[in-house]
């Protein structure tokens, strides 16, 4: 199994991120062992698969798989670039 760990603490909220290659299978194994997964793996707008559960103290654990998209521009970056790009006006637009 391949994984990476990231940690953050914002305003006393602690979160842990674990990158897991076979995320869906891993979540099914957790459920089989009695863990409650609050969100089963699903594709997020930025192109990564995420699942969530809480540790016994109520801290959110984020399980994800970024895959090869990690090394490419994310969908969010592309969306921001499109938003900032000047819009071409077609000759058929009516100007008032």
pLDDT, one tens digit per residue, over 5-53 is 555 555 556 678 899 999 999 999 999 999 999 999 999 988 889 999 9
Rounded-to-10 torsion of CA 60, 63, 66, 70: 40
> What is the pLDDT, as a whole number, of residue 2?
54
pTM of structure: 0.61
Give the number of C-alpha atoms closer than 13 A to the C-alpha of residue 43, restricted to the C-beta side. Answer: 6
What are 42-53's pLDDT values in tens digits?
999 888 899 999
> What is the pLDDT, as a whole number, of residue 80?
72
> What is the pLDDT, as a whole number, of residue 23?
97
Categorise residue 47: left if φ over 0, alpha if ψ from -120 to 50, beta otherwise: left
For the chain, list the domains and their CATH numbers: 5-84 (3.10.180.10)
> What is the pLDDT, as a whole number, of residue 45?
86
């Amino acid at each position: 199994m391949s994984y990476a760990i990231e940690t953050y603490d914002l305003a006393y909220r602690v979160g842990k991120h674990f990158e897991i290659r076979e995320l869906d299978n891993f979540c099914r194994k957790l459920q089989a062992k009695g863990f409650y997964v609050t969100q089963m793996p699903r594709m997020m707008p930025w192109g990564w698969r995420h699942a969530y559960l809480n540790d016994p103290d109520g801290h959110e654990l984020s399980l994800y798989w970024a895959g090869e998209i990690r090394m490419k521009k994310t969908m969010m970056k592309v969306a921001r670039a499109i938003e900032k790009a000047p819009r071409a006006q077609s000759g058929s637009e009516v100007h008032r």
